[in-house]
């Protein structure tokens, strides 16, 4: 490597270190124009959509009730088992669950569905408890993050910052002000951009993640405008 190339590398490193500031790497700084102070959002509970897979379990102290609902699951139940024993929300927003038959669940929260099932089951069975959760909650965090890839969330609720932490955080040159969010709405992909440095994100409908949501962290202007050290010679 020539002296000229070494000097070019050193100059680039100095330029990069001087361009990336604490402000460039800090999340949730202050409210931007067009919005007030953030005070929490009203999108805390996910609402079921068509195509979702719901894991429903009815457990009772009565063995006959457990046998009726096939509640004798293996001790070490994994995500695959839950998915294979789940109920898919059809195109009309219904699931077929045991003797309840068609139950409309589209647009309801998991707690809403649990309450409906619990009330119905209480009419026929004693001391039976209903559990409802998403059988799978896949998200993808891609681009300028430490560990890009697909992640299977182990709970029913996760926000955009928790999703980012799954991938180890944003890299130094990742753009925090224009994060691309792709989410499925009734199995149709829709793309949006959010600013993770704006406190108004806490009020945003994109604060809470949905199943099949993708986060794409693009490089910022410092990275994309950096000069090429070894340009290809023109012919």
- 148 and 76 within one domain: no
| Distance separating alpha carbons of residues 76 and 91, to the nearest angstrom | 32
Show which of 75, 105, 134 is a domain's final residue: 134
Contact between residue 131 and residue 114 where contact means Cβ atoms under 8 Å apart = yes
Q: Can you point out the beta strands (E) in the chain?
A: 53-60, 87-88, 94-97, 101-104, 128-134, 138-143, 149-152, 179-185, 188-194, 213-217
Q: What is the mean pLDDT of residues 79-100?
A: 83
Show which of 111, 134, 157 is a domain's final residue: 134
Q: What is the mean pLDDT of residues 122-127?
A: 86
Show which of 134, 159, 184 is a domain's final residue: 134
The pLDDT value given to residue 2: 63
Residue 208: half-sphere exposure toward Cβ, Cα within 13 Å = 14
- 177 and 122 within one domain: no
Say which CATH number the domain at 168 has. Answer: 3.10.560.10
Specify the number of domains making up the chain: 2
What tokens were used for 75? 């001790």
Residue 207's alpha-carbon distances to 38, 40, 76, 227, 228, in angstroms, are 12, 10, 33, 35, 37
Lowest mean pLDDT among 19-28, 64-73, 74-83, 140-149: 19-28
209 closest CA partner among 27, 46, 39, 53:
46
What tokens were used for 159? 């926000």
Q: Which residues contact 81 (CB under 8 A, 6 or more apart)?
A: 73, 74
| Distance separating alpha carbons of residues 196 and 180, to the nearest angstrom | 11
Lowest mean pLDDT among 3-7, 15-19, 77-81, 213-217: 15-19
Lowest mean pLDDT among 41-45, 46-50, 114-118: 41-45
The answer to whether residue 9 sits within a structural domain is no
What is the pTM for the complete model shown? 0.65
| Distance separating alpha carbons of residues 179 and 148, to the nearest angstrom | 14
The answer to whether residue 12 sits within a structural domain is no
- 181 and 170 within one domain: yes
The pLDDT value given to residue 175: 93
pLDDT band at 35 (very low <50, low <70, confident <90, very high): very low
Domain membership of residue 64 as a residue range: 53-134
Q: Which residues contact 43 (CB under 8 A, 6 or more apart)?
A: 204, 205, 207, 208
Q: Which residues contact 156 (CB under 8 A, 6 or more apart)?
A: 46, 110, 133, 134, 137
The pLDDT value given to residue 157: 82
């Amino acid at each position: 490597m020539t002296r000229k190339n070494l000097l070019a590398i050193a100059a680039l490193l100095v330029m990069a270190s001087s361009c990336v500031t604490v402000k460039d790497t800090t999340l949730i700084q202050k409210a931007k124009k067009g919005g007030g102070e953030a005070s929490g959002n009203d999108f805390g509970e996910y609402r079921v959509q068509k195509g979702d897979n719901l894991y429903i379990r009815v457990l009772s102290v009565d063995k006959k009730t457990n046998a009726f609902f096939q509640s004798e699951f293996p001790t070490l139940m994994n995500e695959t088992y839950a998915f294979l024993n789940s109920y898919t929300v059809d195109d009309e927003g219904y699931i077929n669950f045991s003797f309840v038959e068609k139950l409309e669940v589209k647009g309801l929260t998991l707690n809403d569905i649990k309450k409906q099932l619990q009330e119905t089951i209480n009419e026929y069975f004693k001391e039976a408890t209903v559990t409802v959760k998403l059988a799978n909650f896949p998200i993808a965090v891609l681009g300028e993050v430490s560990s890009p890839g697909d992640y299977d969330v182990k709970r029913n609720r996760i926000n955009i910052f928790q999703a980012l932490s799954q991938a180890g955080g944003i890299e130094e040159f990742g753009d925090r002000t224009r994060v691309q969010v792709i989410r499925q709405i009734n199995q149709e992909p829709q793309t949006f951009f959010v600013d993770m440095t704006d406190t108004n994100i806490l009020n945003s409908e994109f604060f809470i993640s949905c199943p099949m949501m993708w986060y794409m962290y693009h490089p910022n202007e410092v990275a994309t405008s950096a000069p090429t050290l070894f340009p290809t010679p023109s012919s």
